[in-house]
């Protein structure tokens, strides 16, 4: 597989898919530069080697229509500033051939939002899935998606995918375009390389003991990951809102705590699977309950399987925090996805903080720690501990699908799988 370090960019034009889907305020100002900064090493490397760069991205969900509130023109200056060089703008991503042809080494062209064209996502618009004509419309859209991808490909000599956030989508710019470049002229960008390596560290190249911490609100959204990890981990901490589905499944009393009543059997099955596979399953034994779902709720620590009526479990209790820390501190590989409580409320962050601190301690002692999935990243940032873990993934959905063991189309298209 070609790599960005081995490719000779001098005199070449590279079309680079990045994730510049940055949050904007009401004045169109960027409120968080993380995604732009994440792509800079790749873009700078190509420019430093004497290549020209055509940057393409989506922003928001314009659903195949032009919507200037989601125009990438709004970030042209910020990208130029971050790159330290002028950035040209192509106001129509499908009609940028002349601008691309005119690019000289070291120059940068930013294309308008790819999703202004429905072909980017490749889903037929304005037709219901139930409509008998849907299948025909889908076929026609797939054909025009190929044409769209071919047009984008025609701008450049090589293709670089550095958009991990959309790697789980088979879109024109993330996967289909790769068909128009031979294996020597397509590659992953640095950010993608790092993300793929991070996933590899916890799925293939595992150092034991391996502790995975899965939290958040529901077991149903995490089940694919839990099942894929069950054969790999030594310790599995299940925390957050799903604690109460497990407590109820085992006959506990959970008051007003959140619970998926249709997943009680699934919870028992997970407990049985862990036992059969020799996985140390760590579930909350005590919890901090609140008398309402609010930061200023009255609190009391109660057994997780005996929450009084009118109260709900909102965070892990002190005994549970110790058990979590014990399972984390000796680990050599750690994955954390999902908070241990309602961490958005400052008074219910102790459980998530205990996890973050134990991970930081284990990382100091040489463990590899990967934090991924929106809320645990928000947690670690809230606690100011982002620099105390090995890697924080930038891809929410993409990371989760990768950990479930699914092949990511954006990665497969480059690897030729």
Positions touching ligand AMP (CB under 6 A) are: 216-218, 221, 240-241, 258, 313-314, 338-339, 341-344, 375
Q: Residue 160: which H helix or E strand, with range?
A: strand 158-161
Measured from the CB atom, the residue of 191 and 247 that comes closer to ligand AMP is: 247
SS3 for 93? helix
Under 8 Å CB-to-CB from 402, ≥6 apart: which residues?
A: 167, 168, 195, 199, 203, 395, 408
- Asked about 397 being catalytic, the answer comes back as yes
Catalytic residue, chosen from 44, 170, 218, 361, is 218
Catalytic residue, chosen from 35, 45, 169, 232, is 35
Quote the strand ranges of 26-81, DSSP E.
52-56
In 310-334, which positions are buried (b, 16+ CB within 10 angstroms) versus exposed (e)? ebbbbbbbeebbebbbebbbebbbb
Measured from the CB atom, the residue of 134 and 293 that comes closer to ligand AMP is: 293
- In angstroms, give the least distance from the CB of 244 to ligand AMP: 7
Measured from the CB atom, the residue of 52 and 288 that comes closer to ligand AMP is: 288
Cα–Cα distance for residue pair 8/10, rounded to 1 Å: 6
- In angstroms, give the least distance from the CB of 316 to ligand AMP: 9
- In angstroms, give the least distance from the CB of 345 to ligand AMP: 8
- In angstroms, give the least distance from the CB of 338 to ligand AMP: 4
Measured from the CB atom, the residue of 313 and 317 that comes closer to ligand AMP is: 313
- In angstroms, give the least distance from the CB of 288 to ligand AMP: 9
CA 245 to chain centre: 26
End-to-end CA distance of the chain: 11
Cα–Cα distance for residue pair 148/168, rounded to 1 Å: 19
Catalytic residue, chosen from 374, 382, 405, 415, is 374
Q: Residue 242: which H helix or E strand, with range?
A: helix 242-249
Measured from the CB atom, the residue of 85 and 217 that comes closer to ligand AMP is: 217
**Contact in structure between 238 and 219 (CB atoms under 8 Å):** yes
Determine the residue with CB nearest ligand AMP.
216
Catalytic residue, chosen from 106, 255, 396, 397, is 397
Mind telling me the catalytic residues? 35, 218, 374, 397
């Amino acid at each position: 597989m070609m790599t960005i370090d081995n490719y000779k960019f001098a005199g070449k034009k590279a079309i680079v898919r990045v994730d510049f889907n940055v949050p904007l305020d009401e004045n169109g100002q960027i409120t968080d530069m993380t995604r732009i900064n994440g792509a800079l090493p790749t873009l700078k490397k190509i420019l430093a080697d004497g290549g020209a760069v055509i940057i393409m991205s989506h922003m928001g969900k314009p659903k195949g229509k032009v919507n200037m509130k989601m125009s990438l023109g709004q970030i042209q200056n910020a990208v130029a500033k971050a790159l330290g060089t002028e950035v040209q703008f192509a106001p129509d991503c499908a009609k940028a051939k002349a601008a691309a042809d005119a690019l000289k080494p070291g120059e940068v062209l930013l294309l308008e939002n790819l999703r202004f064209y429905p072909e980017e996502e490749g889903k037929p618009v304005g037709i219901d899935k139930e409509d008998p004509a849907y299948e025909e419309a889908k076929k026609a859209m797939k054909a025009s998606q190929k044409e769209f991808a071919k047009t984008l490909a025609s701008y450049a000599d090589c293709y670089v995918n550095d958009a991990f956030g959309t790697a789980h989508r088979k879109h024109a710019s993330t996967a289909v375009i790769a068909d128009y470049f031979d294996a020597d002229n397509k590659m992953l960008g640095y950010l993608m390389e790092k993300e793929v390596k991070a996933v590899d560290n916890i799925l293939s190249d595992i150092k034991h003991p391996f502790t995975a911490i899965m939290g958040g609100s529901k077991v149903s959204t995490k089940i694919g990951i839990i099942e894929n990890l069950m054969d790999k981990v030594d310790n599995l901490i299940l925390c957050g809102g799903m604690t109460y589905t497990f407590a109820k499944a085992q006959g506990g009393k959970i008051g007003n705590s959140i619970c998926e009543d249709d997943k009680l059997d699934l919870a028992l099955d997970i407990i049985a699977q862990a036992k059969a596979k020799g996985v140390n399953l760590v579930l909350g034994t005590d919890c901090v309950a609140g008398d309402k779902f609010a930061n200023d709720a009255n609190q009391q620590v109660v057994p997780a399987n005996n929450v009084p009526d009118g109260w709900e479990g909102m965070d892990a209790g002190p005994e549970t925090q110790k058990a979590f820390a014990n399972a984390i501190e000796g680990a050599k590989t750690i994955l954390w996805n999902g908070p241990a409580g309602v961490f958005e409320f400052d008074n219910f962050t102790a459980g998530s903080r205990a996890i973050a601190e134990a991970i930081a301690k284990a990382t100091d002692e040489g463990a590899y720690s990967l934090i991924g999935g929106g809320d645990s990243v928000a947690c670690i940032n809230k606690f100011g501990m982002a620099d105390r873990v090995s890697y924080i993934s930038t891809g929410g959905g993409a990371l989760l699908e990768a950990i479930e063991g699914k092949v990511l189309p954006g990665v497969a298209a480059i690897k030729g799988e």
